[in-house]
Structure 1
Amino acid sequence: MSDAFDILIVGGGMVGASLAAAFVGSPWRVGVLEARPYGAPDQPSYDERSIALAYGSRRILEALGVWLGLVVEAAPITRIHVSDRGYFGAARVAAREQGVAALGYVAPNRAVGAALMPLLEHAANIELIAPATVESTSDEGETVKVCARTPDGARELRTRLLVAADGANSPVREALALPTQVERYGQCAVIANVSVDAPRAGTAYERFTDSGPLALLPLGGARYSLVWTQREDAVDAVMALDDARFLAALQDRFGWRLGRFVAVGKRADYPLVLVRARTAWHGRTALVGNALHSLHPVAGQGFNLALRDIAALVEALRGAADPGAPEGLQRYQALREPDMARVVGFTDFLARVFARDLPLLGHARAGGLLLADWSPALNRWLARQNMGLFGRPTRLASGQEAAWPHN
C-alpha cells in the first residue's frame, strides 16, 4: 500500500462514502479513513434508522451508480402534509402536481451502505482504511500530512486534498480552528419506527407542536419513521415512558390522521445544534456534510444538502491537475454558498418560528400554511425546496455521471 493519495477523505459514513463513490474511475488515488470497521453493529451511518432522500438526491445517487442497489428498499413520498397543532390550516404538496412520480424517498441507512460498499471495495483507485483515527494533520504546502492510528500501528499519509466528512463535531475542522457558528436549539430529537392502523400510502407528515416539529415518514405498509422534537428539559421523561404511554403521548400530539398508533420500536434521542463553518475550505482541506453544516432535522434536509456538497466539489474539480489547488476549492465555495445559505436559513427559521407558542404568531403561521396550499407559485417553491432542486446546476445533480475527462 502506498501512503500517497491525491484525495484523502476523513469519515467513511454515508457522506464520505458517497463522495468516494463520485471519484470512482477518476484519475486520482483516493483514500477513505473511517473510525469504525465496516459492517460493525455500532457503525452509526449504516444502522436501521432511515434517511429522507429528496427527488434531487435520487438523481445524484443515480449518477453515482448506487440508486439501483437501494431502490427496492426506498419507499416513495408522493404527498407531503404540513400542519400546525392547535391552528386551522395546512399546506399540501403532491408529486402529481409537480409532474414527478415521487417528491422523495425514505430508505434505511443500512440500504444506503449496502449499495455504496461494493462499489468502493471493487474500485481500483479507492482504498478503504478502517478502522483508523486521525491523530494529527499538517499542511506542508504541496500536500497535507495526516498521521493516523490503525490496529497495525501508526501510519503517515500524505494527500494533495484532504476532505473532512467527519461529522458535526469534526476533529479535522477543529484542528484547523475554522470560524464556526454553533447554536443550541434547546431541543432533542426522539427517533423511532412506529406502526399505525390506518396508513396513507406515500404521505409524509410534518406537524409543528409546542415542543417542536414532529415528522412521520412512510416506510411502506403501516410503518413510519418518527422524528419527534422535544425540549431538552422534557426529553428524559418522554424517553422513560413505556411503549403504551409513549404512543398515547404521540397520539395526542399528532392526532388521528393515520388512525391509532399501535407499536413503537427502539427509541433513541440526540441534541439538536446548528453548526455552520464560515468557509467550505482552507488551505488544502475542504469540508462536506455535517462538518460544514449540521441542521435542525425539520424538513429533512441534512443528507440531501450533503449530497449537493458532493456534486459541487466534483464539479469544481473536474479537469483540475491538482485537486487541492485553491482555484478548484474557490469554485466549490462559490457553487455551495447560495444553496447552503438558503437551506440553513430556511430550516433555522422553521425551527424557531414554529416552536414559539404565541397565539398571534400561531395565527400568522396558519395563514402562511393556507397561502402555501392555495398559491400555485408558493406551492411550487415549497415543492422544489423539499425536492432539493435549488442551487447551481452540476453534472451529478442533473443525473449525469461525472465522466472524468482524464479517463
Structure 2
Amino acid sequence: MKQFDVVIAGGAMAGMTLALALDSLSQGKVSIAIVEPFQVDHQSHPGFDSRSIALSYGTVQILSKLNLWQDIAPIATAIKHIHVSDRLHAGMTDIDHKDLSTDALGYVVELADVGRVYHQKIAQSESISLFCPDSVSQIERTQTHNVITLNSGQQLHGKLLVAADGAVSSCCDLLGIELKQHDFEQVAVIANIRTQQAHQGRAFERFTEQGPVALLPMSDDRMSLVWCLRPESAQQVLELDDQAFLSQLQEVFGWRLGQLTQVGSRASYPLLLRYREHNTSHRFAIVGNAAQTLHPIAGQGFNLGIRDVASLAEEIAGSLEDVGAYSVLSAFKQRRQDDRINTIAMTSSLVHLFSNDYLSMRIGRNLGLALMDNIPALKTPLLQRTLGLVAR
C-alpha cells in the first residue's frame, strides 16, 4: 500500500491546481497522489477539452502567489473591456481595465492548453504521483487515515482525501454526501467564433429572453461563445448548418464585432446548479465543481473553485503534522462558507433576473444596468465579485 499525505480524486483544473498549490506552499513537504480516469490528450479528457474559461483578476492573483501564473500567462488572452447589454432594450454597462488601473479585468485560457502546462509541472515534481488512467472505487475511513482502493486494485493510504472529481462526484457518492440540484431549464451551446472585426480584448455578455450570450476574447482573434438557450431552442440551433447558425447568433448578438464569419465545432451541456451544503467530512474535503457547479452567467464557477483550492492548500500547509486533522478541515469549512453562499445566491439571482421577459423584470434590470453605468457605488459590489476580489 502506497502512503501519501493527500490523495486527490480528479486531475482536471481543480485537482491539478490543488496539487501544485500544495507542492508550492509546502516546498515539497507534502506527498500527493492524483487519481484521474482520463489521459491528458484533449480529445478524451472532459476536464481539459476544447472549452475556454475566464480567469478573474482575483484568480490570477492567487495563481501568481502559487507560482503557477507565469507558466499560464503566455497562453492566456487578456480581457481589457467588458460590455454588458440587454437585447432590444436600452440598459447597458461598460467596464474597462483602465478605470480600475489594472493590466486586465481577467484572462481567457483554453483548458487543453492549461492541461499540457499542468502535466509538465506535475512531471517535474518529486512530491506528486499521478495514477492515470484510474479512479476511486472504494473508501475506508479510520480515525487517522483513509484507505482508498482504485479500480486497478491499487490501494493508497492517505491522511486526507480531496474530491475534485466534478459535479457528479463518485467520491461524494461513495461517502453519502448529499447533492442538491436545481435545473435552470437552459442548455449552454459552446463554440469558437471568428468575427469581421478584431476583438481587441473585448468581452461581451448580452442578456436575452432565453438566457445570456457571452463572447470572450481568445488567441488568434477568435471568440469563445457560450449561448444559453431553452432546451428545445438549443437542439434547433445545434442542428443548423454553419451559415444558418451564424445568422441566428448575429440576430441575437448584434453587430458590435461586425459580421460573424466562422464557427468551429459545437457542443452543449444542460445548465444545473449542483451543490453540496457540506464541503468537509471526516478526513475528507470537497473542492471545485464537486462542491458546487454554477450557471456560467458572470463566469463565477471556476473562480469560486480556485478560491476553494487556495484556501484548502493554505490550511494544509499551515498544519503539516496532520494534514487531515479536524482542525484543518474545520478552518477550511469556516473560511469558505460566506463566499460559497453569496456567490451561489448571486449567480442564481442573476439567472432569474436576466433570463425572462416579464415587463417588470425587464424595466428593473434595464434601470439597474443604466444606474450601474452612471453611479460607481452601485457598480462596485458586483464588480468586486466579478473580478474575484472577495474575502476567502
TM-score range, shorter chain: over 0.9
What's the CA shift for 1:341? Answer: 1.1
Output one character per residue of 1:101-121: Cα deviation in whole Å (capped at 9) or x when no partner.
Answer: 100001111221122112211
Kept in 2, the 8 Å contact 1:91–1:369? The answer is: yes
2:305 alignment counterpart: 306
1:192 alignment counterpart: 191
2:263 alignment counterpart: 264
2:58 alignment counterpart: 56
Of the structure 1 ranges 269-278 and 196-205, higher mean CA displacement relative to structure 2 is found in 196-205
CA distance in 2, matches of 1:179, 1:254: 39
1:5 alignment counterpart: 4
1:368 alignment counterpart: 368
Following TM superposition, the consecutive aligned residue runs of length 4 or more in structure 1 with deviations greater than 3 angstroms are none
Aligned letter for 1:329?
A: L
What's the CA shift for 1:382? Answer: 2.7
Kept in 1, the 8 Å contact 2:22–2:317? The answer is: no
What's the CA shift for 1:37? Answer: 2.0
Pick the aligned partner of 1:78 from 77, 80, 96: 80
CA distance in 2, matches of 1:89, 1:237: 29
CA distance in 1, matches of 2:101, 2:40: 39
Kept in 1, the 8 Å contact 2:297–2:350? The answer is: yes
What's the CA shift for 1:40? Answer: 5.7
1:340 and 2:340 matched = yes
1:44 and 2:46 matched = yes
Kept in 2, the 8 Å contact 1:69–1:114? The answer is: no
CA distance in 2, matches of 1:222, 1:118: 27
What's the CA shift for 1:354? Answer: 0.8
Of the structure 1 ranges 29-38 and 379-388, higher mean CA displacement relative to structure 2 is found in 379-388
What's the CA shift for 1:123? Answer: 0.9
CA distance in 1, matches of 2:175, 2:91: 47
Output one character per residue of 1:81-105: Cα deviation in whole Å (capped at 9) or x when no partner.
Answer: 1111121120111111111010000
2:356 alignment counterpart: 356
Kept in 1, the 8 Å contact 2:78–2:201? The answer is: yes
CA distance in 2, matches of 1:319, 1:58: 22
2:377 alignment counterpart: 377
Kept in 1, the 8 Å contact 2:78–2:108? The answer is: yes
1:148 and 2:165 matched = no
The alignment partner of 2:368 has SS state of helix
Output one character per residue of 1:218-267: Cα deviation in whole Å (capped at 9) or x when no partner.
Answer: 11454100000011122211100000110011011111111110000010
CA distance in 1, matches of 2:41, 2:240: 32
Task: Note closer, same or farther for the CA distance 1:6–1:346 as it changes in structure 2 (3 Å cut).
Answer: same
The alignment partner of 1:46 has SS state of coil
Aligned letter for 1:266?
A: S
CA distance in 2, matches of 1:249, 1:174: 41
Task: Note closer, same or farther for the CA distance 1:95–1:326 as it changes in structure 2 (3 Å cut).
Answer: same
The alignment partner of 2:151 has SS state of strand
1:157 alignment counterpart: 156
Aligned letter for 2:248?
A: A
Aligned letter for 1:359?
A: L
Aligned-residue sequence identity (percent) comes to 37
Output one character per residue of 1:16-58: Cα deviation in whole Å (capped at 9) or x when no partner.
Answer: 0000001213422110000012336201222222111111111
1:180 and 2:182 matched = no
1:66 alignment counterpart: 68
CA distance in 2, matches of 1:221, 1:180: 40
Kept in 1, the 8 Å contact 2:40–2:115? The answer is: no
The alignment partner of 1:391 has SS state of coil
The alignment partner of 2:295 has SS state of coil
The alignment partner of 2:218 has SS state of strand
1:397 alignment counterpart: none
Kept in 1, the 8 Å contact 2:203–2:215? The answer is: yes
Kept in 1, the 8 Å contact 2:42–2:50? The answer is: no
CA distance in 1, matches of 2:318, 2:363: 53
1:401 alignment counterpart: none
Aligned residues: 388
Kept in 2, the 8 Å contact 1:98–1:380? The answer is: no
1:328 alignment counterpart: 328
1:386 and 2:365 matched = no
**Mapping for residues 157-306 of structure 1, pairs under 5 Å:** 157-220=156-219, 222-306=221-305
Output the TM-score relative to the length of structure 1: 0.93
1:96 alignment counterpart: 98
The alignment partner of 1:137 has SS state of strand
CA distance in 1, matches of 2:119, 2:68: 10
CA distance in 2, matches of 1:257, 1:157: 54
The alignment partner of 1:382 has SS state of helix
Aligned letter for 2:233?
A: A
The alignment partner of 1:44 has SS state of coil
Q: Which runs of 5+ in 2 are unaligned?
A: none
Output one character per residue of 1:64-85: Cα deviation in whole Å (capped at 9) or x when no partner.
Answer: 2222222122111111111111
CA distance in 1, matches of 2:53, 2:199: 19
CA distance in 2, matches of 1:213, 1:44: 23
Of the structure 1 ranges 226-235 and 281-290, higher mean CA displacement relative to structure 2 is found in 226-235
What's the CA shift for 1:358? Answer: 0.8
CA distance in 2, matches of 1:297, 1:212: 10
- RMSD over aligned CA atoms reads 1.3
Q: Which runs of 5+ in 1 are unaligned?
A: 393-407
Aligned letter for 2:374?
A: W
Kept in 1, the 8 Å contact 2:213–2:227? The answer is: yes
Aligned letter for 1:196?
A: T
